[in-house]
Structures are given as structure tokens and as C-alpha cells.
């Protein structure tokens, strides 16, 4: 649980490249955000308003497609957890999330695997794209590339805030970081229905870069309860993932968040980019300066959601729980027949 907070802070990334005093002030603000809500608005990010507009427009075009076109690329067809998911088929803490979405990863060939290979090898593979919307692929891959560069810069800023070399995390993400882009639509729901757009969870990567349209719904947990993170024009919402928590022994803490469904007659679009380490990497424990180490709170202890330093193992765990239909069809040999669906899942 984080300290009391009423609203997310706003940080300007241009200050990271400014003269030393301005850079130092930015890093202090970044530390405060990390010790507080673990979330902040980011401006000065360098991604053009035109590209942001194009991505939101392309997302709307995709969700407006007839069901037959979306169903033709359903995730259940992909052992790599890529493709379209209908509302109610992704789960968090055993309950269905009421959102439809398209998961897009890095465009890489599937790796050959057999039962002697590490199970996470199955996660790499091609995306599924709708034939009815040929312009979606170039738009989303361009955005994914720019969001990756932005996330890496934010990661370098977190390294500097920990008084580490800016590139301290590069050995576990270069040359092929784990990239995931989700375009998401939250349908409106009647007041008497569940309001779980996506249930309370943490993200498992390095950082998440979230683009919101004009409709709110994101909430962040604090010591005083849930606070809203409404859309702020020209900004992204950035949050810390579990890899940074593991590497910093809790000096940087991944925080719990959720999305509340919009009311009936309204829907919400968002585009979430998750930057992760390579699937074959192991998260190191950083040697932090004493004054920073003294603020470390340790890694979150949750028996229902143990964290592993092995990146592929940690990521695969979340995907199997979040998408039980894909898990049963393609990865039944990895499932524990005695387990239940009450375990928490991660959005990434």
C-alpha cells in the first residue's frame, strides 16, 4: 500500500535531458512518485499528437469491425497469446474483465520448442492482423516502436533516480525486449452490473505507458483508498512494473490499479504499452546506495502471486491465468489440475 495521495503528479520528461539542477529536480520528483502512488502523468514525451490521434482512430476502426472480422483473429487461435479477446474472456482474480482488446507483440518468428525446452519459449511468435483493416498493422507497429523508445528512456530515468548507470537494465532487455501493445475498449454497463472493466492487479514488466481517450475509469490504490487517474490531454500515464520492484528490492514498488467500467451508453478506449525484459533474462538485485536501500520496502509478499526473478517464468504465469481458454487449448501440459481461477492475474 502506498502513502496518502489525492492525485497523480505530473512529470516533464524534457527535464531529464536538461542542465544538472533541472535534471536533479526531475529525478527527485520521480523518486517521490515512485515512493507515493507508483503512477504519474508524463508530458514532454516526444510522441507526436498526430500519431496519438492515428492510433486512437485505428483502434476505433478495429472495434467497429463486424464481429466475424474480429473473431477471425481471436487469441484462442494463437499459442503465443496474440490476437483479439472478447469482453469477459480475460480474467483477473478469477473474475471476468469487461473489455474487448487486441494484443500485439513484437513481430518475431515462433521459436522451435518441445517438452524439454523452457515453457516460456512458447510465448514468442507472430501477431494476428485483421484482413479487413490493412492499415492497422503499420499504424500500431509504428506506435509500438515509438512507445518502446519512450519506455526505455523512462527506464533510464528510473535507473538514474536509483543512482545507477542509466543503462543498468540494458543487459536484460537488449537486443530484444518483451513488447506488448494492447488496444482496449471498455463497453458501458448498467448500474446494477459488475463495474469490473479490469480487476485490481499489478503489471509485471519494467514500465507501462498508457494512452487514454477522453473517458476516465483508471483508478490507483493508495493508503486512503482508490484515487481516479482521469485523462489529461497531451500526457501518458506511466506506472512501475514488478521487474523494477524485484530489481530495487521494493525501492520502486509496483502498485495495484484497476479500471471501472463506464456507464451504459458510453465506452472507453485506451492503448497500453508494456515494456518487459527479455524472456530468457533473470532480474538482478541492484546494489543500491545506503540511503536509497534504507527506503526499500522489500518485494511484495503475496502467496497467491509469487514473483520470480526468471522473466519468462513470471510472464508466462500471468498469461496462463489471464487467458484460461488459450491455456487449456495450447498449454494444458503446463496447468495444475488442482488449481482454481481465484489466483490474481497480471494485465501484462
Domain ranges of the chain: 10-334
| Confidence (pLDDT) at 4 | 45
294 CB neighbour count, 10 Å cutoff: 9
Q: Does 2 have pLDDT greater than 50?
A: no
Mean per-residue pLDDT for 68-80?
98
Q: Does 62 have pLDDT greater than 60?
A: yes
Q: How far is CA 127 from CA 77, 110, 180, 214, 277, in A?
A: 11, 10, 11, 28, 19
315 vs 107: CA distance, rounded Å: 18
Mean per-residue pLDDT for 18-37?
95
Look over the chain and give the mean of its residue pLDDT values, rounded to a whole number: 93
106 CB neighbour count, 10 Å cutoff: 18
35-39, 103-107, 168-172, 278-282: range with lowest mean pLDDT: 35-39
Radius of gyration of the chain (CA): 19
Q: How confident is the model at residue 16 (pLDDT cuts 50, 70, 90)?
A: very high
Of the candidates 94, 104, 87, the one whose C-alpha atom is nearest the C-alpha of residue 147 is 104
Q: Does 134 have pLDDT greater than 50?
A: yes
And the C-alpha cell for 265?
Answer: 451508453
User: Which has more confidence, 70 or 5?
Assistant: 70
Cis amide prior to 42 (ω within 30 degrees)? no
Mean per-residue pLDDT for 216-243?
95
21-25, 57-61, 200-204: range with lowest mean pLDDT: 200-204
For 175-221, what is each residue's pLDDT tens digit? 999 999 999 999 999 988 899 999 999 999 999 999 999 999 999 99
Q: Which DSSP symbol is given to 16?
A: G
And the C-alpha cell for 279?
Answer: 524472456
Q: Does 140 have pLDDT greater than 50?
A: yes
Domain 10-334 sits in CATH at: 2.60.120.330
| Confidence (pLDDT) at 345 | 46
Mean per-residue pLDDT for 315-337?
91
- Residue that is written with C-alpha cell 502467496 in the block: 303
Q: How many Cα neighbours within 13 Å face the side chain of 157?
A: 30
Q: Does 341 have pLDDT greater than 90?
A: no
Mean per-residue pLDDT for 236-242?
97
| Confidence (pLDDT) at 339 | 58
Q: Does 344 have pLDDT greater than 60?
A: no
Q: How far is CA 277 from the centre of its chain?
A: 12
| Confidence (pLDDT) at 297 | 84
For 75-93, what is each residue's pLDDT tens digit? 999 999 999 999 999 998 8
Find out whether 186 and 268 touch, Cβ atoms under 8 Å: yes
| Confidence (pLDDT) at 281 | 97
204 vs 85: CA distance, rounded Å: 20
Mean per-residue pLDDT for 121-126?
95
53 vs 92: CA distance, rounded Å: 30
Q: Does 348 have pLDDT greater than 80?
A: no
Amino acid at each position: 500500500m502506498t502513502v496518502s495521495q489525492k492525485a497523480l503528479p505530473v512529470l516533464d520528461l524534457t527535464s531529464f535531458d536538461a542542465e544538472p539542477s533541472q535534471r536533479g529536480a526531475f529525478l527527485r520528483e520521480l523518486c517521490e512518485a515512485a515512493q507515493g502512488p507508483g503512477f504519474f502523468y508524463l508530458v514532454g514525451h516526444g510522441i507526436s499528437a498526430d500519431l496519438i490521434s492515428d492510433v486512437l482512430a485505428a483502434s476505433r476502426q478495429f472495434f467497429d469491425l463486424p464481429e466475424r472480422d474480429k473473431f477471425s483473429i481471436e487469441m484462442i487461435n494463437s499459442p503465443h497469446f496474440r490476437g483479439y479477446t472478447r469482453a469477459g474472456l480475460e480474467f483477473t482474480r478469477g473474475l471476468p474483465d469487461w473489455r474487448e482488446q487486441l494484443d500485439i507483440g513484437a513481430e518475431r518468428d515462433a521459436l522451435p520448442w518441445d517438452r524439454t525446452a523452457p515453457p516460456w519459449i512458447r510465448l514468442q511468435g507472430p501477431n494476428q492482423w485483421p484482413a479487413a483493416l490493412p492499415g492497422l498493422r503499420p499504424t500500431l507497429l509504428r506506435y509500438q516502436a515509438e512507445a518502446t523508445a519512450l519506455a526505455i528512456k523512462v527506464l533510464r530515468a528510473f535507473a538514474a533516480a536509483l543512482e545507477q548507470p542509466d543503462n543498468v537494465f540494458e543487459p536484460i532487455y537488449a537486443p530484444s525486449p518483451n513488447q506488448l501493445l494492447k488496444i482496449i475498449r471498455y463497453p458501458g454497463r448498467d448500474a446494477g452490473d459488475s463495474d469490473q472493466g479490469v480487476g485490481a492487479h499489478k503489471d509485471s514488466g519494467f514500465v507501462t505507458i498508457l494512452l487514454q481517450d477522453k473517458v476516465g475509469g483508471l483508478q490507483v490504490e493508495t493508503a486512503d483508498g482508490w484515487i481516479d487517474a482521469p485523462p489529461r490531454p497531451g500526457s501518458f500515464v506511466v506506472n512501475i512494473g514488478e521487474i523494477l520492484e524485484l530489481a530495487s528490492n521494493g525501492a520502486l514498488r509496483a502498485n495495484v490499479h484497476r479500471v471501472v467500467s463506464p456507464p451504459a451508453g458510453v465506452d472507453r478506449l485506451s492503448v497500453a504499452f508494456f515494456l518487459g525484459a527479455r524472456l530468457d533474462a533473470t532480474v538482478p538485485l541492484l546494489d543500491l546506495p545506503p540511503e536509497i536501500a534504507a527506503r526499500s520496502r522489500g518485494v511484495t509478499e503475496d502467496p497467491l502471486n509469487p514473483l520470480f526473478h526468471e522473466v519468462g517464468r513470471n510472464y508466462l504465469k500471468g498469461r496462463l491465468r489471464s487467458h484460461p481458454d488459450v491455456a487449456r487449448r495450447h498449454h494444458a501440459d503446463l496447468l495444475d489440475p488442482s488449481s482454481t481461477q481465484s489466483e490474481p492475474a497480471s494485465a501484462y
